A and B are shown apart, each in its own frame.
Chain A
Amino acid sequence: MNPWSMILADLRSLKRVGAVIVLLVAVAVAVGIALGAQERAFRRASAAAADDFPLVVGAAGSPTQLVLSAVYLRLEALPLMEGEVLRRLGADERVAGVAPIAFGDVIHGHPLIGTTADFASRWGRLKPIEGRMFAEEGEAVVGAAVKIAVGTTFEPSHGHAGGEHHALGEEDVDEAKHVHAETHYTVVGRLPATGGPWDRAVMAPVENVWETHGLGNGHEGEDHIGAPFDAEKLPGLPALVVKPKSFAAAYQLRAELRGKGLAALFPAEVLVELHQLIGDVGEILKIASAVDDGLVFLAVTTLFVTIGGLRRRRYATLRALGAPRGYILATVWGGAAILVALGCVGGLALGWAGARLVSEILGAQSGLVVPVSLETPDFLWAGAVFLAGSLFALVPAFLAGRGRIVDGLAG
């Protein structure tokens, strides 16, 4: 038995209806694929962005806000902790590195972050792809995505970056009104892309940022930048990044700092909560998309049953010419299965494209690079949809072979 030529004939006669069926199935599949791929990609990207932030310390307050500000640069005014914490941690032997994160200024829409050269290079991991790391006050390095050329000199403004109508690389009215005319920075280097929001930041010595705001330079009159910060009175700080020497040290430090009324946390802790929330929402969306798929299958199956009814005479003719019931079943099922299979393949492509689009939007908003890829679960999902679809297709196939041939011939 070879129903292939009849399957092709049936598909040809469907014309646009066939395309509509493929599209319906493709959209149904794509929603599930896009959700899964996007969720997975977002988890990875958000986790990767937190890699260089082993322990984040801030004044007591919202730990989520602390992580969002320090790691993801969703900058909001944080309560300040005493600068003394920085000096103490800098002297602690369990600490491999500690860096202040001071923000509040903006340049051409990019946040200006005051920190140490050590942290700007991510504890030595990042080598500038252009120019060099800042080495003295008045110098700055930019993240890979910053639209300021190396060699440019700029004056920062007081204010927050990333306002809704504030395009990157442009100076808006608000920014122009609050220029710190007495401070100048020259961009001396550009860092490689990390895929995180810090790619959009301009980093400068924290001493500079303090001085701009009349807070001293954090040192005992010396003219160097970076640790140790040994001034009698250190300025208050919104956040510190601490790199402990060991896991044990990390937990000890976290406990001790918390004991002193500070917020100290591993960004991973907040991420776990965040991911759980995303997971829960994702779960609900996936159930909704599965219900959606069920409805699409119901509609498509009904369509196939209707088409089978319209082709009653055609199939009765084949039976009269000697075709066994199985031939009719295989013809109808094969045609439906091919359309569903095409829909599943189309759905994989469409889902991937959809997830990419969401990534672009997310990336534009957050600076998080969220690379989307199709992986085993996506193919399994498409496969499961195909399997379900081909089971559904048995219904019209059985119905088409049913009934008396003579009734079918009568039309």
Chain B
Amino acid sequence: MPNTAAVPEAPAERLTLDRIAVVHTRKGASPFTSLAIDRLDVPAGRSLGVSGPSGAGKSTLLHVVAGLESPSAGSIRWGETRLETMGEGARDRWRRAIVGFVFQDFHLVDELSIFENVLLPARFASFRASAEARARAGSLIERVGLADPQRRAAVLSRGERQRVAVARALIGRPRLLVADEPTASLDAENGAAIADLLIEATREIGATLLVAAHDRALLDRLDRELRLVAGRPVAEDAA
């Protein structure tokens, strides 16, 4: 399996979705198509905004791209890597190496410090977080504008929490940063700051950025926008 992308210094790859369909079949209900995308191409290092009303399939698209959910049909490729053919363990490894994830509701571990939250993904694979990872966690915390790395996550404000979440998403030098409504739980000021962070930080490391959002200000700053309605693209305007 081509796993060259696991090397931290490897560049981002082109993301290609081909005839993707996600169909939910529930007992006693007729099959429901939550996502149907004929073709989607995101060149390496570019950003894509996904917009659309609630329930339009934005999160589903993000989950499919991040390897959290397998499409019912179609193929999804990261460079030469075909996600839909991978086993679960391989997809876990791929996700760990390639993807950084930012959630709407931050999902920090409240009982841990800022530093430990940021460093957490570094402990998924190795017993000891390397000195390099620790140094990186420290500089990322500084980069996202947080003062005291030893503060507990539980005491942070919403804006601070999302900053921690962004730093956590960046700790593994992701090639693909996926953010699901990253500003929806924040006020305008904090939302703008997080948008800045996401865009600048991904540009700095040359990663591809995928953002699902309602936030017009954020969407307008991305390279392209994909608008979904009922799981289908309705317009795609290049910025």
Q: Does A376 contact B (CB under 8 A)?
A: no
B128 near A2: Cβ-Cβ < 8 Å: yes
Knowing A6-B109, A314-B109, say if A1 contacts B124 (CB, 8 Å): yes
Q: Smallest CB-CB separation from A8: which chain B residue? A: B111
Distance between B68 CB and nearest chain A CB, rounded to angstroms: 5
Q: Smallest CB-CB separation from A321: which chain B residue? A: B121
Distance between Cα atoms of A409 and B101 in the complex (Å): 12
Q: Does B126 contact A (CB under 8 A)?
A: yes
- Which of A6, A10, A322: most chain B CB closer than 10 A? A322
Quick one: which of B121, B126, B128 contacts A322, CB cutoff 8 A? B121
Q: Does A260 contact B (CB under 8 A)?
A: no
Q: Does A313 contact B (CB under 8 A)?
A: yes
The size of the chain B interface, using a CB distance under 8 A, is: 33
B123 near A405: Cβ-Cβ < 8 Å: no
Quick one: which of B88, B99, B109, B129 contacts A9, CB cutoff 8 A? B109
A320 near B121: Cβ-Cβ < 8 Å: no
Distance between Cα atoms of A327 and B93 in the complex (Å): 12
Which of chain A's residues have a CB closer than 8 A to the CB of B63? 405-406, 409
The number of residue pairs between A and B whose CB atoms lie closer than 8 Å in the complex comes to 83
Knowing A320-B68, A322-B172, say if A2 contacts B126 (CB, 8 Å): yes
Which of chain B's residues have a CB closer than 8 A to the CB of A317? 103, 107
Distance between B136 CB and nearest chain A CB, rounded to angstroms: 16
Chain A interface main SS type:
helix
B124 near A405: Cβ-Cβ < 8 Å: no
Distance between B8 CB and nearest chain A CB, rounded to angstroms: 13
Distance between A410 CB and nearest chain B CB, rounded to angstroms: 9
A321 near B68: Cβ-Cβ < 8 Å: no
Distance between Cα atoms of A320 and B66 in the complex (Å): 8
Distance between Cα atoms of A3 and B129 in the complex (Å): 12
B120 near A5: Cβ-Cβ < 8 Å: yes
Q: Does B127 contact A (CB under 8 A)?
A: yes
Knowing A314-B107, A321-B124, A406-B69, say if A5 contacts B92 (CB, 8 Å): no
A5 near B107: Cβ-Cβ < 8 Å: no
B 94-146 contacts with A by CB, 8 A? 95-97, 99, 101, 103, 107, 109-112, 116, 119-121, 123-129
Q: Does A165 contact B (CB under 8 A)?
A: no
Q: Does B31 contact A (CB under 8 A)?
A: no
Binary per-residue interface labels of chain A (388-411) against chain B in the complex, 1 for a CB within 8 Å, 0 otherwise: 000000000000000011100100
Q: Does B175 contact A (CB under 8 A)?
A: no
Binary per-residue interface labels of chain A (315-339) against chain B in the complex, 1 for a CB within 8 Å, 0 otherwise: 0011111111101000000000000
Distance between Cα atoms of A317 and B120 in the complex (Å): 12
Knowing A1-B127, A2-B128, A5-B112, say if A321 contacts B120 (CB, 8 Å): yes
- Which of B121, B123, B172: most chain A CB closer than 10 A? B123
Q: Does A12 contact B (CB under 8 A)?
A: yes
B89 near A2: Cβ-Cβ < 8 Å: no
Q: Does A13 contact B (CB under 8 A)?
A: yes
Q: Does B168 contact A (CB under 8 A)?
A: yes
Which of chain A's residues have a CB closer than 8 A to the CB of B92? 319, 322-325
Distance between Cα atoms of A319 and B109 in the complex (Å): 13
Which of chain B's residues have a CB closer than 8 A to the CB of A4? 123
Which of chain B's residues have a CB closer than 8 A to the CB of A323? 92, 96, 121, 124
A13 near B110: Cβ-Cβ < 8 Å: yes
A322 near B103: Cβ-Cβ < 8 Å: no
A13 near B111: Cβ-Cβ < 8 Å: yes
Distance between A1 CB and nearest chain B CB, rounded to angstroms: 6
Quick one: which of B88, B97, B116, B129 contacts A325, CB cutoff 8 A? B88
Which of chain A's residues have a CB closer than 8 A to the CB of B97? 322
A 22-62 contacts with B by CB, 8 A? none
Binary per-residue interface labels of chain B (162-182) against chain A in the complex, 1 for a CB within 8 Å, 0 otherwise: 000000110010000000000
Which of chain A's residues have a CB closer than 8 A to the CB of B121? 321-323
Which of chain B's residues have a CB closer than 8 A to the CB of A1? 123-127
Distance between B159 CB and nearest chain A CB, rounded to angstroms: 19
Q: Smallest CB-CB separation from A320: which chain B residue? A: B101
Distance between Cα atoms of A2 and B124 in the complex (Å): 6
Distance between B167 CB and nearest chain A CB, rounded to angstroms: 12
Knowing A2-B128, A317-B103, say if A322 contacts B96 (CB, 8 Å): yes
Cross-chain pairs A/B with CB under 8 angstroms, 23 sampled: A1-B123, A1-B124, A2-B127, A5-B112, A5-B116, A5-B123, A9-B112, A317-B103, A317-B107, A318-B124, A319-B68, A321-B101, A321-B124, A322-B92, A322-B96, A322-B99, A322-B124, A323-B121, A324-B93, A327-B124, A405-B63, A406-B68, A409-B103
- Per CB-CB distance, the 10 closest pairs between chain A and chain B, nearest first, are A322-B96, A9-B111, A317-B107, A12-B111, A2-B123, A2-B127, A323-B124, A324-B92, A405-B68, A406-B69
Residue ranges of B at the interface with A (Cβ–Cβ < 8 Å):
63, 66, 68-69, 88-89, 92-93, 95-97, 99, 101, 103, 107, 109-112, 116, 119-121, 123-129, 168-169, 172
Please give 5 more A-B residue pairs, beta carbons under 8 A apart, in addition to A2-B126, A320-B95, A325-B92: A12-B111, A321-B101, A322-B172, A406-B68, A406-B69
